[in-house]
């Protein structure tokens, strides 16, 4: 059985209080100060993270703004290149059109010139044939040289005037 002994009880209470004091002094205080320092470090770390997060967000916004600017500039460059290509295409088409028109005009002029030359040669051949034929006919009809010249000349004038009409 257990008996109650008052002096032992008092000694155990004093022992408990001393143990509590020693635990408080050597275990709880250092542990509490360590926990407090740890909480301060964590809080400062969290504050640092929040600050960095804010910096990151501002950098991200700045990056997105720059990216949009670069995309806008790229679109402008592409648009300018398209416009320049369209202008160059129009110039090339216009140049080709002018060259084709020039070739057509040149061909038409050559055709007209060739036609004139052909008509002239044809006239000369006809006149030659007519003169030969006329000369043969007149020789038979006219005996003198003077009459022959006169008749040939009259016949020639008639033929030339009929061709020109």
The string of pLDDT tens digits covering residues 123-151 is 888 877 777 777 776 666 655 666 667 77
The string of pLDDT tens digits covering residues 7-54 is 999 999 999 999 999 998 898 888 889 999 999 999 999 999 999 998
By the 8 A CB rule, do 65 and 73 touch? Answer: no
CA distance 112 to 102: 15
Q: What is the model's pTM?
A: 0.41
- Which tokens sit at 82? 């398209």
Domain spans in the chain, listed from the N-terminal domain onward: 51-164
Task: Count the neighbouring beta carbons within 10 Å of the beta carbon of residue 134.
Answer: 20
Q: What is the CA radius of gyration of the chain?
A: 63
- Which tokens sit at 31? 């542990």
């Amino acid at each position: 059985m257990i008996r109650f002994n008052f002096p032992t009880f008092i000694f155990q209470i004093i022992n408990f209080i001393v143990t509590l004091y020693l635990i408080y002094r050597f275990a709880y205080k250092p542990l509490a100060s360590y926990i407090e320092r740890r909480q301060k470090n964590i809080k400062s770390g969290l504050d640092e993270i929040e600050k960095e997060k804010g910096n990151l967000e501002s950098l991200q916004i700045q990056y997105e703004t720059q990216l949009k600017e670069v995309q806008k500039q790229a679109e402008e460059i592409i648009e300018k290149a398209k416009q320049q290509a369209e202008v160059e295409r129009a110039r090339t088409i216009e140049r080709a059109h002018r060259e084709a028109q020039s070739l057509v005009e040149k061909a038409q002029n050559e055709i007209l010139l060739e036609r004139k030359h052909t008509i002239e040669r044809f006239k000369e051949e006809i006149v030659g044939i007519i003169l030969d034929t006329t000369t043969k006919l007149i020789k038979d009809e006219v005996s003198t040289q003077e009459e022959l010249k006169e008749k040939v000349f009259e016949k020639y004038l008639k033929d030339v005037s009929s061709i020109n009409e």
